[in-house]
Amino acid sequence: MSSSNTDRGRLGELLRQAREYLDLSQDEVARRLGLPRTAISQIESGNRRVDALELKNLADIYRRPVSYFTGELAPEAALPKDIEHLARAASRLSPRDRDELARFAEFLRSRASARSRP
């Protein structure tokens, strides 16, 4: 197997793991990207190249930096486990509920900041 095939296989595996971690189906991801489901399957198996825009869009869907998938950021260093759990739970919320969750997180952050002031 050539280096580019190995790299594609590694990228495909990381993309599959990220998708499954968020409990997304290949169909859901394909719809968001405007691609056929078979394209997602081929990407994840390392049989199809991913262009830069597709990788950026996949990273956005999976809520990870592109560097996570390119090997510039070690996968285990991407997010602490408790944050990953919160991200997975939040991914199942509606956009409106995610906005509410973000407001609540901001409230908690400001409350903690107020407590630490003398």
Query: Is the Cβ–Cβ distance between 12 and 45 less than 8 Å?
Result: yes
In the prediction, which pLDDT does 59 show? 94
Render pLDDT for 1-40 as a digit per residue (tens, 0 to 9).
Answer: 456 778 899 999 999 999 998 889 999 999 999 999 999 9
| Overall average pLDDT of the 29-58 stretch | 96
Give the CATH fold of the 1-78 domain: 434 Repressor (Amino-terminal Domain) (1.10.260)
| More confident of the two residues 38 and 112 | 38
Q: Is the pTM of this model over 0.85?
A: no
Distance, in Å, from the CA atom of 42 to the CA atom of 50, rounded to the nearest integer, reads 10
Domain ranges of the chain: 1-78, 79-118
Query: Is the Cβ–Cβ distance between 62 and 18 less than 8 Å?
Result: yes
* Percent of the chain residues topping a pLDDT of 90: 47
Give the closest residue to 13 by CA, choosing from 71, 73, 84.
71
